[in-house]
Chains A and B, each alone.
Chain A
Amino acid sequence: MSPDGATRAAIPVSFTLNGKPVTVTTDPVRRLTQVLRDDLGQTGTKVGCDAGDCGACTVLLDGAPVCACMVPVGRLEGHDLRTVEGLAAEGVLDRLQRAFLRFGAAQCGICTPGMLMAAGALLAETPRPTEAQVKDALGGVLCRCTGYRKIIQAVMAATDLDSHTPQAAVGAAVGSRIERLDGNPKVTGADRFGADTAPEGSLVVRVIRSPFHRAAFDLGDLTGFVAAHPGLVRVLTAADVPGRNLHGVIPDMADQPVFAVGETRYKGEAVAAVVGEAEAMEALDLADLPVTWTELPAVLTPAEALAEGAPRLHDRRPENTLMRGLVQRGELAEGFVAAAHVVEGEYSTGFIEHAYIEPEAGYARRVGDRIEVVACTQAPYMDRDDVAAILGLPKDAVRIIPTAVGGGFGSKLDLSLQPYVALAAWLLDRPARITYTRPESMASTTKRHPSHITARIGADADGRLTAMDFLGTFNTGAYASWGPTVGNRVPVHASGPYVYGAYRARSHAVHTNCAPSGAFRGFGVPQSAVAQETLFDELAERLGIDPLDFRLINALDNGSPTVTGQVFDTGVGFKDCLRALKPHWERARAEAAAANAAHPDGPRRGVGVAGMWYGCGNTSLPNPSTLKVGVKADGSLVLFQGAVDIGQGSNTVMTQICADALGLPVDRFQLIHGDTDLTPDAGKTSASRQTFVSGKASYLAGRDLRAQILRLTNASDGAAIDITAEAIRVSEGGTTSTIPLAGLKADAEGFVLMGQGTFDPPTSPLDANGQGEPYAVFGYGAHMVELAVDTRLGTIKLIKLTAAHDVGRAINPLLVEGQVEGGVAQGIGLALMEEFVPGRSENLHDYLIPTAGDVPEIETLLIEAADPLGPYGAKGIGEQALIPTAPAILNAIRHATGARVRHLPATPGTVLRALKDAGHAPVETPDHG
């Protein structure tokens, strides 16, 4: 090829891949990741950023860990390459892989291949590394799920790992720390995530997005452009949408176009999509498309959006107001009159990006008059309904098959890529795939709502809360998404799990020209907890009451009404959480005081606590789940489990629950998960509802099947069941009845028996004052943080976090700890480093999430105040764990130094300013020169 040719000549490159010689002939500048994944089909090596920032692509080049996304494949000539696929020689897991399973080090698993490679290189040189060595080795691989602690433990223990795998006895699956049932493919690299599944020869789709916060646009001559570029097939625009060019997670609020019409409302909004053959798409520069943009004035904050004359985003939403929420109870004015002390404050938090390591990806294919979408998602049935509306198809013409999900945390509840691949595959009748780039994922998908909060809280001289008044304004971005959910949840939760004389909480969700704010672990509650829990410490200080005691005095208990007037007779485990922290609190406060006295010039040590509660499931709305479990004619036992496992472990938890309900061991179960054609609707994986709601459905399904079996033999519930390839055996009191499977009639799918369970948690609507029963159950918890503040630089060193959570019943303590540790890590990010600035931090270089070095030791104290409704008493934990971390950190900073940080993140600069406001000597000490 001549130097000015349009493409670079392909050359053969030969190297050793996991011990075997390979030769590829390709453009030598292509990234090694592309060649491994696309040309060699080795999809175990993951791509999270294509920029060195996430380490998911870590491979060993001549034994040294490198990021394959930045290695030109031409450089491999003659070299030795090792990838995750090479670890399990002849299918036998190596020690490190087994340690990852044993310690619960893989949750979603998208970071796992990179972690394994980086850790493997360390262990090859240092078989028994220290924690510091492990952190140094893993510092280049980001994990958003685990909080790193279990990964570090696994690496430190790998060399001496024993071969005994924890097993649960029949009837004792619930409560046992068994390894996750779907873990094996996560440690071998065999798991198929969104970008790993498309059929060969699929068309590739890429989306053209607005470069401005708000812009008018002209698409130009797209047909001419396609004609002039061999290999491109079509450009899709709003005109190509056969059904409704709108989607939204709350059906009657759907307002987000698949392709913008006339004007874009945020930077990153789609206007068109190019479809073409893979090679042509790889050579395409989207900037070459003939689209012209005209930037328009934009509003980026609620203050701007509410200003007079501000451009209105949606005609039907005056004052750019999406919604307002209210909960009030008691006489507010009287409450403040009764107060001996009143504190107040103004707080703000920024956009928080979910930063799962897997950018959105998947494919679609047309099967006759149906469309199948195979993609990462948290909500298959919701996807189905919206894709059907967009394509103008009946719902049952759409099949959603979730891939393994590389983290979701709320953002993968909304549609992202699905409409684009579905449209392309539908219109062109060829499979079509897409993989979002990291900047595209960050610019276009939902975020945590930025908040601006003012709150006033009063207490009487005995320390009893008399009144709280709260107003939260939330930047809900360009589209509704889950904004109404945040707006409704916050007033219910802003009180925290405490009893007040009077209470008023108002929320206001305001549209701006920013990426839509949606669901993110906690739906606004982490933001409100920052205000409420830090004001509590100020109040406690005024009262001269220890902060932990102050919370105990006011803690919600069995029988006391919540701020919506709901009363739980049992299962309110908040006081138990606080009491569990008490000994730790006393130890930590004493240690901090001693350290501060011993080193008056050293970093200031501090200890802080914060509480939380969180309602499991939808707010005052039905949210049923259905699960099925059946026996086939060949004796196999199949659990149809539609609760999407996004790493949190629902595949394992549902099976553990069903196993005990049915009375068979977990290893007997086969799982069919989350396919809208096969599994009944288990709702969305959000709102900490899966263990509680779907778990209950799993329990009921297991009980149903058990009852059917027992009925066949007239046995009592004390009987033991066994199922073999030939028969079901029921034993009771020394006698065994045998039911030959051949004698039972099989249905069309081959099932001879099928149990089913449906659960919809009882709630009641909230009245005009927000009074009612919004949730059937709440989870409770409290965190205690120990840290040190460098008062000259404003940096924070976290020393230890102790987390007490009332989970009702820990179905699998290993998985619960994993949820807690992962939530804590996200809370640390929220507190100390994360802030998404639209247009400025759309990559993992500028948007910082915690690394292996940023998460301290975490001790989890599990409290089991059984819920009467939950399966075996279980409640949710998914979002709970994140909520108290940030306020506990802020309280510890204040305890250490007196500095009050009210605007997150508490970056070094912010902390230093707060330190000065609190009277700490500025660095500009008198001139010594």
Chain B
Amino acid sequence: MRYLRPETLGEALAALATAPHAILAGGTDFYPAAGDRPLRTDVLDITGLAALRGVARAGDGWRLGALTTWTDVVKAGLPPRFDALKGAAREVGSVQIQNVATVAGNLCNASPAADGVPPLLALNAQVELSRQDGTRVLPLGDFLQGNRRTALAADEMMTAILIPDDLPGGDERSHFVKLGARTYLVISIAMVAAVVAVDDAGAIAQARVSVGSCSVVARRLTALEADLTGQPLAQAAAIAAPRHMADLSPIDDVRATAAYRREAALELVRRALSHCAGGQP
């Protein structure tokens, strides 16, 4: 069994090419999952890959290196459409978690309750997956395949999250709302991210709304988004309706019932939209 902590991506990918490794980033999903059992796998600790940390402009968009932590996101200077992602970042676990946990780890762990997914879906994020002989880019929605299932191959690692500049110009707003049974350190019962672009007349040029914890993978509410397009932003919350939740498939668990989740999701959607319109959170 090995522990590798390479300083270059090349070394990391070379290691993955020779044998599968458990990839270790912030460790906040990795260690709790290990529990009290000994770690009997080769471990590739990627936190030495300094080049993968940070948020920067890249081409026609933004690039979040795979080692970017939630705290990095909170501190980064980013346009308003990232407010939802920042909101999620502030509510992931606790300060201790945010200081080490990576956004990429949140995606790779693929929990239905991952707070990073709704905002990133609403940003049309793509993920960059690298292996020794090349790189592929997948839409986040294709990368996430189910509860704890992703498109990541054994010899690949995620190297970045890419966010295209694809909002129509003009005013942009975004917001994240999370519902849990306590204030800190809480897994979402449901959470919603909204990103909207508004034209000069105050009408919605484009709306993207996603809901987490209400299906195995968080979902965009495409029917709602279509209904919102062209409508005044001030009306957005009132437009959201039960039928827009049809694509959700929440389950009963220790945190809440399916029925409650469905209702709460609608209310959270309305609150996220109303916040974007300048109303109360």
Contact A853 B38 (CB under 8 A): no
Let me know if B263 and A52 touch, CB within 8 A: no
Contacts A66-B99, A70-B28; A437 near B182 (Cβ below 8 A): no
User: A7 CA to B43 CA in the complex, in Å?
Assistant: 12
Q: Which of B3, B96, B241 contacts A27 (CB 8 A)?
A: B3
A295 within 8 A of B: no
Residues from chain A with Cβ under 8 Å of B35 in the complex: 50-51, 437, 439
In the complex, residue of chain A having the shortest beta-carbon distance to the beta carbon of B257: A909
Known: A845-B187, A850-B182. A28 touches B3 (CB 8 A): yes
Does A139 lie within 8 Å of B179, measured CB to CB?
no
Proximity string of chain B (223-267) to chain A, C-beta cutoff 8 Å, 1 when within and 0 when not? 000010000000000111111100000000011110110011011
Query: Do B27 and A70 touch (CB < 8 A)?
Result: yes
Known: A5-B1, A64-B99, A852-B184. A927 touches B243 (CB 8 A): yes
Q: Are B185 and A285 in contact, with the CB atoms below 8 A?
A: no
For A1, A65, A121, A840, the residue with the greatest tally of chain B CB atoms inside 10 Å of its CB is: A65
Residue of B2, B183, B255 near A139 (CB, 8 A) is B183
Give bound CA distance, A263 to B96, whole Å. 43
User: Do B179 and A795 have beta carbons less than 8 Å apart?
Assistant: yes
A-B contact sample (9 more), CB < 8 A, given A66-B100, A74-B5, A908-B189: A51-B31, A52-B93, A65-B95, A139-B94, A140-B95, A437-B35, A439-B35, A794-B260, A853-B183
Contact for B31 among A5, A69, A283, CB less than 8 A: A69
B267/A923 in contact, CB under 8 A: yes
Q: How many Å lie between the Cα of A928 and that of B224 in the bound state?
A: 12
How far in angstroms is the closest Cβ of chain A from B250?
A: 11
Q: What per-residue 1/0 map shows which CB atoms of A129-140 lie under 8 Å from chain B?
A: 000000111011
Instruction: Determine the chain B residues whose CB is within 8 A of the CB of A284 once the complex forms.
Output: 38
Most chain B CB within 10 A, of A28, A907, A929, is at A929
Which of B37, B45, B94, B184 sits near A72, CB closer than 8 Å?
B45
Instruction: Kindly report which residue of chain A lies nearest to residue B98, judged by CB atoms.
Output: A140
A58 & B96 in contact (Cβ 8 Å cutoff)? yes
Contact B96 A28 (CB under 8 A): no
**B203 located at the interface, meaning its Cβ lies under 8 Å from any Cβ of chain A in the complex:** no
Question: With an 8 A cutoff between CB atoms, is B213 at the interface?
Answer: no
Shortest distance in angstroms between A653's beta carbon and chain B's nearest beta carbon?
A: 32
CB contact between A52 and one of B42, B96, B256, B266 (< 8 Å): that residue: B96
- The complex places the Cα of A118 from the Cα of B96 at a distance, in Å, of 8
Chain A to chain B: the 5 pairs with minimum beta-carbon distance, closest first: A140-B94, A853-B183, A139-B184, A909-B260, A51-B32
Interface string of A888-929 (1 = CB under 8 A from B): 000000000000000000011100110000000011100111
Tell me the smallest distance from the CB of A139 to a CB of chain B, in Å: 3
22 chain-A/chain-B pairs, Cβ below 8 angstroms: A3-B1, A29-B3, A31-B31, A51-B31, A70-B32, A74-B5, A140-B184, A285-B38, A286-B36, A846-B187, A852-B183, A853-B182, A854-B182, A908-B179, A908-B189, A908-B264, A909-B259, A909-B260, A923-B266, A924-B242, A924-B263, A927-B243
Bound complex: CA A7 to CA B184 (Å): 37
Total A-B pairs, Cβ < 8 A: 187
Q: Which residues of A contact B240 (CB under 8 A)?
A: 928
In the complex, the chain B residue whose C-beta lies closest to that of A849 is B182
> Is A833 part of the contact surface with B, judged by Cβ < 8 Å?
yes
Residues of A within 8 A of B239 (CB): 928-929
Of the residues A29, A74, A140, contact of B93 by C-beta under 8 Å: A140
B97 on interface, CB distance cutoff 8 Å: yes
- Are A3 and B263 in contact, CB atoms less than 8 angstroms apart? no
Q: Hey, which chain B residues are within 8 Å of A845, CB to CB?
A: 32, 187
* Measured CA separation A31–B43 after assembly (Å): 13
B39: Cβ under 8 A from any A Cβ: yes
Q: How far is the CA of A793 from the CA of B38 in the complex (A)?
A: 42
B154 close to A (CB within 8 Å): no
Bitwise, B63-100 to A at CB < 8 A (1) or not (0) is 00000000100000000000000000000011111011
B160-203 interface (Cβ within 8 A of A): 179, 181-187, 189
| Contact call B37/A285, Cβ cutoff below 8 A | yes
- Give complex CA distance A7, B40 in Å: 8
- Whether A50 and B181, one on each chain, are in contact in the complex, defined by CB atoms closer than 8 angstroms, is no
Q: How many whole Å from A172's CB to the nearest CB in chain B?
A: 41
Which A residue sits closest to B223, measured CB to CB? A929
A766 contacts the other chain (Cβ, under 8 Å)?
no
CA distance A31 to B100 in the complex (A): 14
Distance in Å from the Cβ of A57 to the closest Cβ of chain B?
9
Q: Which residues of A contact B266 (CB under 8 A)?
A: 923-924
A29-45 toward B: CB 8 Å interface, digit per residue (1/0)? 10100000000000000
Contact check: which of A285, A852, A927 meets B242 at CB < 8 Å?
A: A927
Asked if B47 CB lies within 8 Å of chain A CBs, one says yes
How near does chain B come to A312, taking the closest CB pair, in angstroms?
Answer: 30
Provide the A44-59 mask, 1 if CB < 8 A to any CB of B, else 0.
0000001111010010
Sort chain B's interface into a size bin.
35 or more
Q: Which residues does chain A contribute within 8 Å of B30, judged by CB atoms?
A: 70
Bound-state Cα–Cα, A268 to B82, Å: 46
A118-B95, A909-B257, A929-B241 given; A74·B3 CB < 8 A = yes
Note all chain B residues with C-beta closer than 8 A to A771.
none
Q: Within 8 Å CB of A922, what residues of B?
A: 263
Decide yes or no whether A4 CB sits under 8 A from chain B: yes
Check B37 against A909 for contact (C-beta < 8 Å): no
In the bound complex, residues from chain A placing their C-beta under 8 Å from that of B27 are 70-72
CA–CA, A259 and B256, complex, Å? 36
Residues of B within 8 A of A907 (CB): 181, 255-256
Tell which of B26, B42, B186 touches A3, judged by Cβ atoms closer than 8 Å: B42
How close is B21's CB to chain A, nearest CB, in angstroms?
Answer: 10
| Chain A residues closer than 8 Å to B24, beta-carbon distance | 29, 72
Q: Would you call A307 an interface residue if the criterion is a C-beta within 8 Å of the partner chain's C-beta atoms?
A: no
A150-178 contacts to B, CB under 8 A, are none
Contacts of B187 in A (CB 8 A): 845-846
Tell me the bound Cα distance from A75 to B45 in angstroms: 8
Q: Do B254 and A841 touch across chains, with their CB atoms under 8 A apart?
A: yes
B47: contacting residue among A75, A140, A141, A794, CB under 8 A: A75
A831 and B74 CA atoms in complex are apart in Å by 34
- Verify if A287 is at the interface (C-beta below 8 Å from B): yes
What is the CB-to-nearest-CB distance from B252 to chain A, in angstroms, rounded to a whole number?
A: 10
Is A52 touching B28 in the complex (CB atoms < 8 A)?
yes
Interface membership of A792, Cβ < 8 A: yes
Nearest CB in chain B: distance from A871 CB, A:
39
Name the residue of chain B whose CB is nearest to the CB of A1: B1
Flag if A793 contacts B94 (CB, 8 Å). no
CA distance A101 to B264 in the complex (A): 43
Tell me, in angstroms, the Cα distance from A840 to B255 when the chains sit together: 11
User: CA separation between A912 and B260, bound complex, in Å?
Assistant: 8
Of the candidates B94, B179, B186, B243, the one whose C-beta lies within 8 Å of that of A929 is B243
Across the two chains, which residue of chain B brings its CB closest to A836? B254
> For the complex, what is the distance from the CA of A843 to the CA of B41, rounded to whole Å?
24
CA distance A587 to B179 in the complex (A): 31
Query: Who on chain A is nearest to B237 by CB?
Result: A928
Q: Do B181 and A848 touch across chains, with their CB atoms under 8 A apart?
A: yes
- Known A65-B99, A75-B45; contact A851-B31, beta-carbon cutoff 8 A: no
CB distance from A850 to the nearest CB of B (A): 6
Distance between A459 CB and nearest chain B CB, rounded to angstroms: 36
Residues of A within 8 A of B182 (CB): 833, 848, 850-851, 853-854
CB distance from B200 to the nearest CB of A (A): 25
How far is it, in angstroms, between the C-alpha of A14 and the C-alpha of B255 when the chains are bound? 43
- Please judge, given known A-B contacts A139-B95, A923-B266, whether A70 and B100 are in contact too, CB under 8 Å: yes
Query: How long is the Cα–Cα vector from A7 to B242 in the complex, in angstroms?
Result: 55
The answer to whether B254 touches A837, judged by C-beta atoms less than 8 angstroms apart, is yes
Q: Specify which chain B residues have a CB less than 8 angstroms from the CB of A27 in the assembled complex.
A: 3
CB proximity of A757 to chain B, nearest CB, Å: 45
Complex CA gap A823/B94 in Å reads 24
Q: How far is the CB of A8 from chain B (nearest CB, A)?
A: 4
Is A275 interfacial (CB 8 A cutoff)? no
What CA separation (Å) do A74 and B110 show in the bound complex? 26
Residue of B with least CB distance to A59: B96
Chain B proximity of A662: nearest CB distance (Å) = 46
Q: Give bound CA distance, A833 to B189, whole Å.
A: 13
